[in-house]
Chain A
Amino acid sequence: MALDPVVLFFALGLAAGLLRSDLKISSGLYETLSIYLLIAIGFKGGVELAAASPGSLVLPIIAVILMGAGTPLVAYPILRQLGRLSRPDSASIAAHYGSVSVVTFAVGVSYLARLDVEYEGYMSVFLVLLEMPALAIGVLLAKGIGRDTRWGVLAHEVLAGKAVVLLVGSLLIGWYAGAEGLASLDKFYMELFKGMLSLFLLGMGLITAARLADVRKSGLFLIAFGILMPVVSAMGGVAVGYALGLTLGGTTLLAVLYASASYIAAPAAMRIAIPEANPALSIGASLGVTFPFNVFVGIPLYYWMAGMVYGLGG
């Protein structure tokens, strides 16, 4: 099926960046759009959460977090042994891949909406919960349980960071307001969602284009890692989603979450917690390779993978 136009705006941004066009998304607009996306995702999740019974979520939450913590533990030895990267670099990249990307999730939501595939609305709860654990594991991999780690600073950086504050906050607001509260806001947060996402992706294209120089320098191994690691993680996501009895759409989104690599919360947190790690490597891989791969190829692929499993399972 044809590409989602939203995705084509990402391609446009990439092309503009590579052509050295004077197109620029100001950092103020970029901030505004990311705030909008975080609120829209959290709010929608909260509204859906109000309809679900919280007790039924306990087991899925535990399973999803435990499996999410597995990603950096799988990625680290690969980076260290096969990639021969230094310990801090391996740990920082592993943390990026264990944490999740809100925008990749948003593109996944947009993909499913276009196909009219339903999914569990509380998936955005997982989005919040998967952000932090991998970052902590990354720091542990880099430093062990040492005294010189500023855990307080790191925890504050992540938990008080805008992503968690806005997602949790709007999740609670949506949960409190329920479907009735949604009525007054759904034009802004639901109907305009794809338009806003297309603007944001245009900016992401520009940012990604500027990172491609780093990708070229980082070598073949990291490029291969940036493509294969998400596919492996997505397989884990499909398995967990299927085992938990999620819908086809929910399982696809879980696979997208596991496959995505963070480039908002993780870079800032890792810069402070693992200063020795070279950010050009981790950001080059997560933003320069994995994000475009997921947007163009990964998301349809994970949907197909989930479909195969659900087809086989009857």
Chain B
Amino acid sequence: MANFRVKLVTVICEADLEKMLVGEMLKAGARGHTVTEARGGGRRGVRDALWGATSNVRIEVLCTEAVAAKILDTIESRYFHDYGIVMFMSDVEVRRADKF
């Protein structure tokens, strides 16, 4: 069976943003997403996940290149300035290309 190339968009952000960012992703055309709880640290200090206000989440979406570009643009223009966000995109291979 053949492998298909799609994009994996990963966004690590403040837990409070989860609902809004997932909403943006679905609006951009994502057909599914996965959220995991996360902790770490960076320019905005330690995110120790002791309670809601210092928790992070990691949101992952598999999608086409066009949808990925749209997600990246939206999050960059609307959220980068005020929120702690790390976002990156990578090439991955999947089965069932029509699922994404």
Asked if A pairs with B, the answer is yes
Residues of A with Cβ closer than 8 Å to B? Answer: 24-25, 27, 30, 153, 203, 206-207, 210, 213-214, 263-264, 267-268, 271-272, 275-276, 279-280, 283
- The answer on a CB contact under 8 Å between B50 and A267 is no
- The answer on a CB contact under 8 Å between A283 and B20 is no
Fill in one digit per residue for B24-63: 1 if any A CB lies within 8 Å of its CB, else 0. Answer: 0000000000000000000011101111111100000000
- How far apart are A217's CB and chain B's nearest CB, in angstroms? 10
- The answer on a CB contact under 8 Å between A275 and B55 is no
- The answer on a CB contact under 8 Å between A206 and B20 is no
B54 surroundings in chain A (CB, below 8 A) = 207, 210
- How many residues belonging to B are interface residues under a CB distance threshold of 8 Å? 19
Most buried by A among B17, B51, B79: B51
B45 surroundings in chain A (CB, below 8 A) = 213-214, 280
- The answer on a CB contact under 8 Å between B83 and A275 is yes
Interface of A is mostly: helix
- The answer on a CB contact under 8 Å between B83 and A268 is no
In the bound complex, how far is the Cα of B14 from the Cα of A210, in angstroms? Answer: 17
In the bound complex, how far is the Cα of B51 from the Cα of A283, in angstroms? Answer: 12
- The answer on a CB contact under 8 Å between B53 and A267 is yes
- The answer on a CB contact under 8 Å between B46 and A210 is yes
Q: How many A-B residue pairs have CB under 8 A?
A: 44
- The answer on a CB contact under 8 Å between B53 and A268 is yes
- How far apart are B10's CB and chain A's nearest CB, in angstroms? 21
Q: A207-B54, A267-B16, A272-B16 are in contact. List 9 more A-B contacts (CB 8 A).
A: A24-B50, A210-B46, A213-B45, A272-B20, A275-B82, A276-B82, A279-B53, A280-B44, A280-B45
- The answer on a CB contact under 8 Å between A267 and B46 is no
Q: Known: A275-B82, A275-B83, A280-B45. Contact between A268 and B51, CB under 8 A?
A: no
In the bound complex, how far is the Cα of B19 from the Cα of A268, in angstroms? Answer: 12
B53 surroundings in chain A (CB, below 8 A) = 263, 267-268, 271, 279, 283
Residues of B with Cβ closer than 8 Å to A? Answer: 14, 16-17, 20, 44-46, 48-55, 79, 81-83
Q: Known: A210-B54, A268-B16, A276-B82. Contact between A27 and B49, CB under 8 A?
A: yes
- How far apart are A153's CB and chain B's nearest CB, in angstroms? 8
A263 surroundings in chain B (CB, below 8 A) = 53
B81 surroundings in chain A (CB, below 8 A) = 275
- The answer on a CB contact under 8 Å between A30 and B82 is no
Most buried by A among B14, B44, B81, B82: B82
- How far apart are B35's CB and chain A's nearest CB, in angstroms? 15
A203 surroundings in chain B (CB, below 8 A) = 50
- The answer on a CB contact under 8 Å between B50 and A30 is yes
- Among A30, A213, A276, the residue within 8 A (CB) of B51 is A30
In the bound complex, how far is the Cα of B22 from the Cα of A182, in angstroms? Answer: 42
What are 13 A-B pairs with beta-carbon distances under 8 A? A24-B50, A27-B50, A153-B20, A203-B50, A207-B54, A210-B48, A268-B53, A271-B16, A272-B16, A272-B20, A275-B81, A275-B82, A283-B53
In the bound complex, how far is the Cα of B14 from the Cα of A268, in angstroms? Answer: 10
- How far apart are B13's CB and chain A's nearest CB, in angstroms? 11
In the bound complex, how far is the Cα of B96 from the Cα of A26, in angstroms? Answer: 38
Q: Known: A206-B50, A210-B48. Contact between A27 and B82, CB under 8 A?
A: no
- The answer on a CB contact under 8 Å between A271 and B50 is no
- How far apart are A208's CB and chain B's nearest CB, in angstroms? 10
In the bound complex, how far is the Cα of B48 from the Cα of A213, in angstroms? Answer: 13
